[in-house]
Structures are given as structure tokens and as C-alpha cells.
């Protein structure tokens, strides 16, 4: 099970307690989790993809110009 499925499972299991904690607290928690997910999971993946694109651009430039970086 990947991280997103685990997170969804955990959040689904906690919905039974909605009558105990006010809804606004749950929304705040969900917003915080989504922001944390962006910083922890998505941004590093974007960074890795950007490095791959830059590497491919360098290789293409080297092939066309015959120069090395």
C-alpha cells in the first residue's frame, strides 16, 4: 500500500469520530495534511524530474554543438 492509500485509509477510519470533534478542526487537520503532503512527497518528485529534464537538455545541447558543460 503506498503512502496516499495509507493516508486515505487512516482518514476514513477517523471519520467515525466526527461527532466528537467539531467539523472546523477536521478541516484544519485536512488542510494541514494536504500542505504537508505537497512539501514531503510532491516537491521532491518535481525536483527529481527537473534534474532529469536538465540532464536531457545538456545531452541534446552537447549532441548539437559538440561542446561539453
Which whole-number Å values give the CA distances from 35 to 39, 50, 67, in the listed order? 7, 21, 42
Interval 2-22 mean pLDDT: 66
Cell 470533534: give the residue.
Answer: 21
User: pTM of this prediction?
Assistant: 0.44
The band of 25, judged by pLDDT with boundaries at 50, 70 and 90, is confident
Provide the phi-psi class of 27: left if phi over 0, else alpha when psi is between -120 and 50, else beta. alpha
Residues 6+ apart with CB under 8 A from 46: none
Domain boundaries, the chain: 24-69
Amino acid at each position: 500500500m503506498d503512502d496516499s492509500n495509507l493516508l486515505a485509509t487512516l482518514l476514513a477510519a477517523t471519520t467515525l469520530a466526527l461527532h466528537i470533534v467539531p467539523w472546523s478542526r477536521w478541516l484544519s487537520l485536512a488542510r494541514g495534511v494536504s500542505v504537508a503532503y505537497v512539501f514531503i512527497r510532491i516537491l521532491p518528485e518535481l525536483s527529481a524530474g527537473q534534474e532529469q529534464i536538465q540532464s536531457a537538455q545538456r545531452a541534446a545541447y552537447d549532441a548539437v554543438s559538440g561542446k561539453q558543460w
